[in-house]
A and B are shown apart, each in its own frame.
Chain A
Amino acid sequence: ETGVTQSPTHLIKTRGQQVTLRCSSQSGHNTVSWYQQALGQGPQFIFQYYREEENGRGNFPPRFSGLQFPNYSSELNVNALELDDSALYLCASSSTQGGKNIQYFGAGTRLSVL
């Protein structure tokens, strides 16, 4: 149990729609990262938020956007959904311990775009 919770667990949307995924970080963690895991692939970094500011972005288009709130919970928003957006979306919160930063992952939201 990592203490990182994501909602919803499953979601079905149609092409062109918009979706919001939510993540509640582990207590005391001020950094949250979002990853996309397509079937048969490893997680791919989308972006990271630190103290409510975007702190790094992977190779994803602007229709992928995020928010981090004062309580360090976070949202991932995807506009104009495409079929290829179907994937498991993982949220990870992190803190620095002993000079090392370990990311703790939630169970993910599985998004299906039809």
Chain B
Amino acid sequence: DQQVKQNSPSLSVQEGRISILNCDYTNSMFDYFLWYKKYPAEGPTFLISISSIKDKNEDGRFTVFLNKSAKHLSLHIVPSQPGDSAVYFCAASATPYNTDKLIFGTGTRLQVFP
């Protein structure tokens, strides 16, 4: 039972344009959401997070939007850069204090081309 779903396995975007990565979840107990980026031969790197009391969190070129009623979140990258090419994982937790495990999606491979 996949509680966190990333339905797009890959995305290709031109440099300078917006990249939108989507994530859906099924467990209404999830209260805290994170995005991780993973380069080949490296571990996932924390990118940005959002708690359920917010619907938007912004950090530089990265913005995460949360729609609790739809159980949907998205990561926007503007403008996209070739160095953003990586696999992006959405993850969820029932608490920001990590007393529960992180549940990860299957990832979306983003390719930013010149």
Interface residues of A (CB under 8 A from B): 2, 4, 31, 33, 35, 40-45, 48, 55-56, 58, 90, 92, 94, 96, 99-108
Contacts and interface: CB of A to CB of B under 8 A. Distances in A.
Contacts of A56: 99-101
Mostly helix, strand, loop or mixed at chain A's interface? strand
Given A42-B107, A43-B89, A4 B43 contact: yes
A108 B43 contact: yes
B98 interface: yes
A2 B101 contact: no
Given A41-B106, A44-B104, A56-B100, A100 B49 contact: yes
B102 interface: yes
A90 B43 contact: yes
Interface residues of B, number: 26
Given A40-B106, A42-B4, A101-B96, A33 B43 contact: no
B101 A105 contact: no
Interface of B: 4, 6, 32, 34, 36, 41-46, 49, 89, 91, 96-107
B104 A96 contact: no
Given A42-B4, A43-B89, A101 B107 contact: no
B101 A58 contact: yes
B104 A100 contact: no
22 contacts: A4-B43, A33-B102, A35-B104, A41-B107, A42-B104, A43-B44, A43-B102, A45-B103, A48-B101, A56-B99, A56-B100, A90-B43, A100-B32, A100-B49, A100-B96, A102-B49, A103-B98, A103-B102, A105-B43, A106-B43, A107-B42, A107-B43
Contacts of A90: 43-44
A31 B46 contact: no
